[in-house]
Chain A
Amino acid sequence: MEPGIASPEKTVADMHESSDETALRDQRAMRLVRHLGSARGGLGEWRIQRWTALALIPLGLYFVASMLHLATSSELTAEQWLASPVAALFLVLLLLAGLAHMLVGLRSIVLDYVHTRVGLFVAGVVVRASTALLCLASLLAVIKIALKS
């Protein structure tokens, strides 16, 4: 028997041992389901999606508040806004977290709707390449603005 697949009795006993702790820690779940199907790297993406979602709550609200401030202010220009290191840092963090979140989300949409191998390959390349391009272009723009002033 493969080391990863325990007998059912042993698996249940294993789970009872840890039931005092938080039930089913994710590493544990990983060990139990590995080799049984679809549990390869999925947990990593799941975790990235949740952590970036958490980070995007304050970062997104800060961004919207900044845009509202920028749009209603008669003195502040976009360049001046991004000249502030705090604003530039938060925007960079928003871009990184947002685009990582977007990549995971778009990939999960692709996996649900694209059913051929060729389609999956092409859609995967398009999604990854365009996300990378957006990320680099935005970051270079922010860095250029931040350094100009």
Chain B
Amino acid sequence: MSRQSPLSPFMLPIWYRFQLTSALSIAHRLTGLALSVGSIALCGWLIAVAHGDEWFARAHELLISPAGLSLLFLWSLTFFYHLCSGVRHLLWDVGYALELKAAYRGGYLVLAATVVLTAASWTYLFLA
């Protein structure tokens, strides 16, 4: 089957120029996907806790390894982004902030809140 006309999910690089709003939209989906992968890790961690000390120790070792910590950092970032962006979506659902200017302001606010919440969490983690 030949595709002469563009399909909606693949319009960004060629058919549309970059916009904050569409970039944040696809980021919402990507972070949702990343959190789905994170749910596997959460499940594995819970199983390790349930199984007892030896499994827990091994899971803990994995989590505090450089790779584990990087993943945890990315998951915290994606969690806070998806949370803030999700609130923005819920506000849209009830009819707020739908105008172009408000949509951009909300977008920048979501980005700022994500950075602040992630930074605050990791600062607390290393200072407390």
Listed stretches A5-13, A29-37, A117-125, A141-149; interface member:
A141-149
Interface size class of B (residues with CB under 8 A): 20 to 34
For the complex, would chain B's binding face be called helix, strand, loop or mixed by DSSP majority? helix
Query: Quick check: A141 and B83 within 8 Å, CB to CB?
Result: no
Query: Quick check: A102 and B50 within 8 Å, CB to CB?
Result: no
Give the contacts of B32-77 with A (CB-CB under 8 A).
32-33, 35-36, 39-40, 42-43, 46-47, 49-50, 56, 76
A54 to B87 Cα, complex, angstroms: 8
Closest A residue to B47 by beta carbon equals A141
Contact pick for A57, options B33, B39, B83, B124, CB 8 Å: B83
In this assembly, does A4 line the interface, its C-beta being within 8 Å of a C-beta of chain B? no
Interchain nearest-CB distance for B44 vs A (Å): 9
A53 to B90 Cα, complex, angstroms: 8
Contacts of A64 in B (CB 8 A): 76, 79, 121
Query: Quick check: B39 and A71 within 8 Å, CB to CB?
Result: no
Proximity bits, A71-89, B CB within 8 Å = 1, else 0 = 1100000110010000000
Interface residues of B (CB under 8 A from A): 8-9, 29, 32-33, 35-36, 39-40, 42-43, 46-47, 49-50, 56, 76, 79, 83, 86-87, 89-90, 93, 121, 124-125, 128
